[in-house]
Structure formats: C-alpha cells, structure tokens
C-alpha cells in the first residue's frame, strides 16, 4: 500500500486526478505538457492501493499549496492536441495500480447558485477567514451583483487584496475549484453549517412589503428596538413605492421603462409632488405629457384600493429587478456607503 509520505508530488497529482474521475480528469489533462503527462503515467504505475485517509491528506496538502498561490503542476501552456484522446481507459485505470478499480462518482450539482442566495454578510465572513486567493476564486464564480455585495462586507485592506487577485487571476484548474466547492458545501450549505435564515427573511419581507409605508416603518422601528437579528439584511429586501425618490436616476429610468403608462398614472394618483416629479422625470417626454394630462382630470372616481394595488405592483417590480442585479435598492446602497 502506498502512503502519502512515500509518494512523490507527481504521484500525488495522479491520485487526485483518478479520484476526480475520468470526465473531469480528461478536461484537466488538456492543460498539461506532454512531458508532464508522461511523468504522471510513469510515476503513478508504481503506486499501490491508497487508503481513504492518505487520499484525504493529499487533497489537504494540495488545498494548502493552492491557497498560497502555487499549483501542483505547471498548466500555463496548452497542448496543441487533445490529450485525453491519447489515454485509453486502461491507462486511466492503471494510474492507481490498484487491484480493485476506484469507483467513479458523479459530481454534485454546481454550488454557486446556492451560494449567491446567501446573505452577503455571511459569505463575507467566510471569505474573511480564507486566503485572499480563495476569496478571489469564490467571487469570480458569482454574478457581478452577488460578488459586489459580498465584497463590500470585507474591510478595506482585505477587499483591496481580493480585488487585486481577481484582476490577475488566470484559469483555475478544475480540481482546485472542486476542492473549494466542497468546502463551501460543508461550511456554508451543509447540515453542519450555521442555519441560513435567508428563507425566513424573504417570507417576512414579503409580508412587510404588503403594508403601507407608514405601517412598514413603524414595524421596522419596533423590530429594531426589540433587538431583532439581521435587520440590515431584512431592510435590504424591503421597498415601498414611496422609496422611488431614493433610487438613483439610472435605476428609476430602468424601473419605469418596463411599466405601462396606465399603471404609472394610477400609482401617481394623490401622490406628493416630490414623489410624482421623481417618477415623471424618469420617463419619456411624450409619456409624461400623457400622464400629467390624466392626472389633471382629478382622481375622485378612482378607488383608493386600486391606487394602492398599482403602487405595490411597481414596488414588487423594483424588488424583482434588484434581485436580478439590474440595480440596488436604497437600503443596500446605504449599507455600502
């Protein structure tokens, strides 16, 4: 039996490749030089059975070296031919030199969509404990909006270091990404991780967003005075039609570009002058004239419930667009300031 202490670096790399399984390993082999590939096959044929404990030691060693910015093998030069076509199934099986073939497991689903759903502060706390290279890799896998929100939770020094590493980051070997994904599953998404409260916050925010602005502010104030946790995260999910005045001009234009003039007209019935101007200044001149003409005819025949419904529909649209990364809600902008 081969132990981790007896194995060369090339043999350890071969062990990791076989543990990944042929589909993933074949993709990674495309980045190897011809002499590296030959060294892998030659050295690995000297191996015997590797215990699970020793395999875990090898993976941990690789993870440690990657965190310091070093790879196990040089992957800078791509080969002109597809390397995996030169390897037969027998050669892949022979890499480990075991009497019983190593079971190939299907890779789990990508972790990144679930990571993007986490509270930015929670993801930021994870990255603050990791090497900047690891944090840079994690952020590079997220959508721009999710990455920005998480990045802003870091202190200035750590933030600058992570951004610099993101700017200079080259292609990351799939095995390195897989190791970090597994860490994220275990520490952030696994059953042993701290319970994610984002689902509960979403439910509460959905309820609060149905309230009138004055009642919403009253409930939020009471929650803060009672010491309710994660209030900033909850605030980032709240938006009322009256908050339109706090959006940037660019965000308002994007919001009202997707809303019909009829719905805007209904929402602006009996609206304060400042709120009406914030909305009207965000739409085209022709549409503005039409809306102002309708508003000038009075609102006596318009039911108040219809006005409220129109305002909530626009607020819901703003929340959806913010969730999609089109713009940030005012509470998120305030937190980042």
Longest distance between any two alpha carbons in the chain, whole Å: 89
Return the higher-pLDDT residue of 262 and 169.
262
Q: Model confidence over 2-39: pLDDT tens digits? A: 566 677 777 777 777 776 666 666 666 666 676 777 77
Q: Model confidence over 68-87: pLDDT tens digits? A: 544 333 333 333 333 344 44
Task: Give the model's pLDDT for residue 242.
Answer: 92
Percent of the chain with pLDDT over 90: 20
Task: Give the model's pLDDT for residue 211.
Answer: 84
Task: Give the model's pLDDT for residue 61.
Answer: 75
Overall average pLDDT of the 97-104 stretch = 42
Contact indicator for 20, 178 with CB cutoff of 8 Å: yes
What is the average pLDDT score of the chain?
A: 76
Asked if pLDDT for residue 283 goes beyond 90, the answer is yes
Task: Give the model's pLDDT for residue 21.
Answer: 64
Contact indicator for 96, 47 with CB cutoff of 8 Å: yes
Overall average pLDDT of the 166-177 stretch = 77
Rounded distance between C-alpha atoms, residue 77 and residue 92, angstroms: 22
Q: Model confidence over 187-199: pLDDT tens digits? A: 777 643 444 455 6
* Buried b or exposed e, range 27-53, using 16+ CB within 10 angstroms: ebbebbbeebbebbbebbeebeebeee
| 227 backbone φψ class: left, alpha, beta (φ>0; ψ -120 to 50) | left
Rounded distance between C-alpha atoms, residue 116 and residue 149, angstroms: 10
Whole-model pTM? 0.42
Rounded distance between C-alpha atoms, residue 91 and residue 69, angstroms: 30
Under 8 Å CB-to-CB from 176, ≥6 apart: which residues?
Answer: 62, 63, 66, 71, 137
Residue 213 host element (H or E): helix 213-225
Indicate the SS3 state at residue 97: coil
Q: Model confidence over 122-156: pLDDT tens digits? A: 888 888 888 888 888 889 888 888 888 888 888 88
Overall average pLDDT of the 275-289 stretch = 95
Return the higher-pLDDT residue of 325 and 290.
290
- Domains defined along the chain, listed by start: 9-94 (no CATH), 112-189 (1.10.220.30), 239-336 (1.10.220.30)
Overall average pLDDT of the 170-190 stretch = 76
């Amino acid at each position: 039996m081969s132990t981790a202490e007896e194995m060369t670096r090339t043999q350890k790399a071969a062990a990791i490749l076989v543990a990944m399984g042929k589909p993933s390993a074949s993709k990674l082999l495309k980045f190897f030089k011809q002499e590296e590939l030959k060294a892998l096959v030659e050295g690995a044929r000297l191996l015997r059975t590797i215990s699970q404990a020793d395999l875990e030691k090898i993976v941990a060693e690789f993870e440690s070296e990657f965190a310091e910015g070093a790879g196990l093998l040089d992957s800078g030069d791509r080969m002109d031919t597809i390397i995996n076509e030169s390897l037969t199934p027998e050669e892949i099986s022979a890499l480990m030199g075991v009497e019983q073939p190593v079971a190939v497991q299907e890779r789990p689903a990508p972790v990144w969509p679930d990571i993007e759903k986490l509270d930015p502060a929670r993801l930021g706390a994870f990255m603050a404990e990791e090497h900047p290279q690891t944090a840079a890799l994690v952020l590079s896998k997220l959508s721009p909006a999710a990455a920005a929100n998480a990045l802003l939770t870091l202190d200035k020094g750590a933030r600058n270091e992570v951004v610099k590493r993101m700017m200079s980051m080259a292609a990351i070997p799939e095995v390195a990404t897989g190791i970090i994904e597994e860490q994220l599953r275990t520490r952030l998404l696994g059953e042993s991780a701290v319970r994610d409260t984002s689902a509960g916050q979403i439910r509460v925010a959905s309820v609060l967003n149905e309230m009138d602005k004055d009642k919403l502010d009253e409930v939020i104030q009471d929650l803060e005075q009672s010491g309710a946790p994660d209030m900033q995260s909850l605030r980032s999910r709240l938006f009322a039609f009256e908050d339109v005045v706090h959006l940037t001009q660019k965000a308002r234009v994007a919001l009202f570009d997707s809303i019909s003039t009829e719905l805007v007209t209904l929402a602006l019935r009996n609206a304060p002058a400042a709120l009406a101007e914030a909305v009207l200044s965000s739409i085209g001149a022709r549409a503005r004239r039409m809306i102002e003409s309708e508003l000038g005819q009075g609102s006596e025949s318009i039911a108040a419930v219809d006005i409220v419904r129109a305002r909530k529909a626009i607020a819901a649209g703003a929340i959806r667009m913010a969730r999609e990364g089109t713009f940030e809600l005012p509470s998120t902008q305030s937190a980042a300031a």
